[in-house]
Amino acid sequence: MDVLRALGYSQNEKLLMIHADDAGLSHSENRATVQALENGSVNSYSIMVPCPWSYEMMEFARDSPQFDNGIHLTLTCEWEKYRFGPVLPGNEVPGLVDGNGHFYKTRELLHKHATNEDVGKELRAQIERALDFGLKPTHLDSHMYSVAARPEFLEIYRDLGKTYDLPVFFNGQLITEMGLDAKKVLFDDELVVDNLFLGTFADFEKGRLADYYDYVLDNLPPGFNVLILHPAFDDFEMQGITVNHPNFGSRWRQLDYDYFINESCKAKLEENGIRSVTWGEIQTVMK
């Protein structure tokens, strides 16, 4: 699907979605996400339904339908001390949980233990919980892109989008980084994000995360672009959650928030002629 043509734009138009992952992970993540939506440049977010703080964020989503929101389908839990598991009882999806009933930490362990049946059951249960809460999601995406741990999981993900009539987040670069052949698993006629932008640990470690975001906004190519960030506050809660995990850790998330809440970000978007786009807009033209 050509998003530019579907939305009535020329092929030279620069469309950008600034998307906040991991809403529902914590109270800190929720507060930062809401503020970035209401006062910053973030225009899309997605909720991790299995997380303890998802209730707070689902209330916000239900009561604030003007903001683009999706379901951040979750099959892994990467944190050392902060552990959570599926919304279904562990004995109903035994291939998704470790000996303590929590999600596995890595895609590799998920690949090793999970079954197609368990993945499908749990992801449907997460969507149904959000719908039962009263949410009207605009899309589906995936935490740690764990749906690409196997080609079969990716097909389940695609089928869920069709079942619930929702766009799903696909990007060839990301699929390739997950170890799959994008040419074999993506179809020519489906919606695919042209360009994905995500800060790296090297950027963060060298204190150049803001420089990276500046570069992206100053050099954004034409097409449908998505920039993913993880806003939260560098407080005791997030420091405890991300202990021994500086990659997308507490400090990184504060830097994400700081950049995209700043008026200089809004100015840079305007200076570079960048148009905002949301999954909600894309969902409308797909129907």
* pLDDT tens-digit readout, 129-155: 999 999 999 999 999 999 999 999 999
Is residue 287 over pLDDT 80? Answer: no
Percent of the chain, pLDDT > 90? 97
- By residue count, the chain amounts to 287
Instruction: Give me the mean pLDDT over the 30-58 stretch.
Output: 98
Number of structural domains found in the chain: 1
Tokens of 165: 């009539």
8: left (phi over 0), alpha (psi -120 to 50) or beta: left
Q: pLDDT digits over 189-205, tens only?
A: 899 999 999 999 999 99
pLDDT of residue 189: 85
Residue 193 near residue 170, CB atoms below 8 Å = yes
Q: pLDDT digits over 77-134, tens only?
A: 999 999 999 999 999 999 999 999 999 999 999 999 999 999 999 999 999 999 999 9
Tell me the CATH number at 45.
Answer: 3.20.20.370
Q: In 3D, which of 238, 232, 250 has the Cα closest to residue 34?
A: 232
Q: What are phi and psi of 68, to 5 degrees?
A: -55, 125
Is residue 24 over pLDDT 80? Answer: yes
Q: pLDDT digits over 55-91, tens only?
A: 999 999 999 999 999 999 999 999 999 999 999 999 9
Tell me which H or E stretch contains 276: strand 275-276
pTM: 0.97
Domain holding 201, by residue range, is 3-286
8-state DSSP, 238: H
**pLDDT band with cut points at 50, 70 and 90 for residue 40:** very high
Mean pLDDT, all residues of the chain: 97
Sign of the CA dihedral with 283 first, then 179, 76, and 92 last: positive
